[in-house]
């Protein structure tokens, strides 16, 4: 059904670009779910991985990815500890996403492979940053349900995007592009708000206010 999907993609075509964008974003959310899903799809005969990613269909790799996904499933849902877990996985999700993009473009020139790897890592970093920011916002909540629901949504989105990218890579890529836009806009807004707060805290009182304070 999907056999030959990736293998038959036109070199440098929009399908391949969409696939890389979607899978990189998914890896930024949950790299183990992404790797495991790709491997299982390949084993089920629903996905023909490019030569650079054939290792993902190995049962040992699939088993390792599923085991680590199980660990992350619980670790990522513990308030406060999830912040440490996500910080640590900055050094896992981003490099693996870059390697996935590099392997997916094994039929291209080395220069284009490096460019794809850089793009994949950058997309994963944005997804990972958005996930971490959401956790920072939710963790202080006294009830654990919001943290659990957010983590479940991230896990499900990572699996769905990986699968969706193998069926409709262009649509998946456009969906992720919308997610990236929202994350970047929100990040810019938060940074600008923090700068304004910092500047307001550092601004000395005006002479008029200072005189009023002295009179009081």
On the question of pLDDT at 27 being above 50, the answer is yes
Alpha-carbon gap, residue 73 to 62, rounded angstroms: 16
* Average pLDDT for the chain: 85
- Per residue in 138-157, pLDDT tens? 877 766 688 888 899 999 99
Q: Would you state the pLDDT for residue 145?
A: 80
Residue 49, C-beta contacts closer than 8 angstroms, at least 6 positions apart: 6, 7, 38, 42, 56, 57
On the question of pLDDT at 14 being above 80, the answer is yes
For residue 137, what are its two tokens? 């916002």
Query: What would the mean pLDDT of 11-40 be, rounded to a whole number?
Result: 92
- Per residue in 158-182, pLDDT tens? 999 999 999 999 999 999 999 999 9
| pTM summary value | 0.83
Q: Would you state the pLDDT for residue 23?
A: 97
Q: Would you state the pLDDT for residue 6?
A: 43
Q: Would you state the pLDDT for residue 148?
A: 86
Burial track 116-136 (b if 16+ CB lie within 10 A, e otherwise): bbebbbbbbbbbbbbbbebbe
């Amino acid at each position: 059904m999907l056999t030959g999907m990736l293998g038959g993609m036109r070199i440098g075509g929009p399908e391949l670009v969409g696939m890389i964008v979607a899978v990189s974003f998914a890896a930024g959310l949950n790299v183990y779910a992404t790797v495991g899903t790709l491997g299982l799809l390949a084993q089920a005969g629903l996905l023909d991985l490019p030569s650079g990613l054939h290792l993902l269909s190995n049962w040992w790799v699939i088993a390792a990815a599923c085991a680590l996904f199980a660990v992350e499933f619980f670790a990522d849902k513990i308030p406060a500890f999830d912040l440490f877990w996500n910080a640590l996985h900055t050094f896992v999700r981003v490099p693996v996403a870059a390697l996935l993009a590099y392997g997916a473009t094994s039929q291209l020139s080395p220069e284009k492979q490096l460019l794809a790897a850089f793009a994949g890592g950058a997309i994963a970093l944005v997804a990972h940053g958005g996930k971490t920011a959401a956790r920072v916002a939710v963790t202080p909540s006294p009830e654990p349900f919001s943290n659990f629901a957010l983590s479940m949504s991230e896990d499900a989105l990572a699996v769905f995007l990986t699968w969706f990218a193998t069926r409709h890579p262009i649509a998946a890529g456009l969906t992720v592009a919308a997610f990236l836009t929202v994350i970047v806009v929100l990040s810019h807004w938060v940074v600008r708000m923090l700068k304004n707060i910092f500047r307001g805290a550092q601004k000395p009182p005006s002479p008029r206010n200072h005189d009023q304070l002295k009179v009081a």
